[in-house]
Amino acid sequence: MKTISKITIGLAAAAAAILFVGCSDSATPAKEVSKPAPTISEESLGLRKTNLYTEKGTTGDKTSYATSYAGSGNKIKRAFQDAPPMIPHDTQGMLPITINDNQCVGCHMPEVATGVGATAIPGSHFTDFRPAVAMNSKGNMTINGAVLENTSNETLKDISIKSTGDKLAGARFNCTQCHAPQSDSPAPKNTFEADYTSKDGANSSSWSGTKLMEGIDTVHGK
């Protein structure tokens, strides 16, 4: 019993001391917590000064593609010399283009284009630039049986040329890999000005005939 009494008295004394310190005017005040530095908003980090987490802030201009029918005579000025011309007419029902279903050739083949007022497919599309290049069973590109160590056009080792006659080259059947419909929406402003090297560069291609081999010194066919 004496031991319990001592413990009880000790606890009471400790509680009184704590109460006395807490109420004393001479107690040391708690240190003031410093305010955190202002955070950098995500909006200020990017080029777009908008909230990217809302649809309202990320909605772009409405696309408005041409609705004129194919053969209406509309044309879009080329952005630069020999740029792939944009599609100025409605393409509804014409896409996707496959090797067995290409409605573009119905109007744009050279023998038809003049009569219907369409832009004729240029000679470059009837030219195979790698007729001597093949791929062997190991997946290596070869030319005349020899493996090409470097397939970069900078070496010109893999460049050759051969006419495909009146048929589109295999790499050219998918028109929309280079040509695309143009939206009427406002375009970003820029200061680019085209410097056409041919008289009618804004409307026609000059990449045909001897122009196809300009700057290319090849010995792998003609």
Mean pLDDT of the chain: 78
CATH number at residue 169: 1.10.1130.10
pLDDT of 15 over the 80 cut? no
Q: How confident is the model at residue 218 (pLDDT cuts 50, 70, 90)?
A: low
Q: Is residue 213 part of a domain?
A: yes
Domain that residue 205 falls in:
61-126+165-217
The pTM score is: 0.63
Q: Is residue 53 part of a domain?
A: no
The 3-class SS string of the chain reads: CHHHHHHHHHHHHHHHHHHHHHHCCCCCCCCCCCCCCCCCCHHHHCCCCCCCCCHHHHCCCCCCECCCCCCCCCCCCCCCCCCCCCECCCCCCCCCCECCECCCHHHHCHHHHHHHCCCCCCHHHHEECCCCEEECCCCCEEECCEECCCCCCCCCCCCCCEECCCCCCHHHCCHHHCCCECECCCCCCCCCCCCCCCCCCCCCCCCCHHHHHCCCCCCCCC
- Count of domains forming the chain: 1
Q: Is residue 105 part of a domain?
A: yes
Q: Is residue 115 part of a domain?
A: yes
Q: Is residue 152 part of a domain?
A: no
Q: What pLDDT, in 10s, does the model give residues 175-198?
A: 999 999 988 877 778 888 888 988
Q: Is residue 99 part of a domain?
A: yes
What integer pLDDT is reported at residue 204 of this predicted model? 84
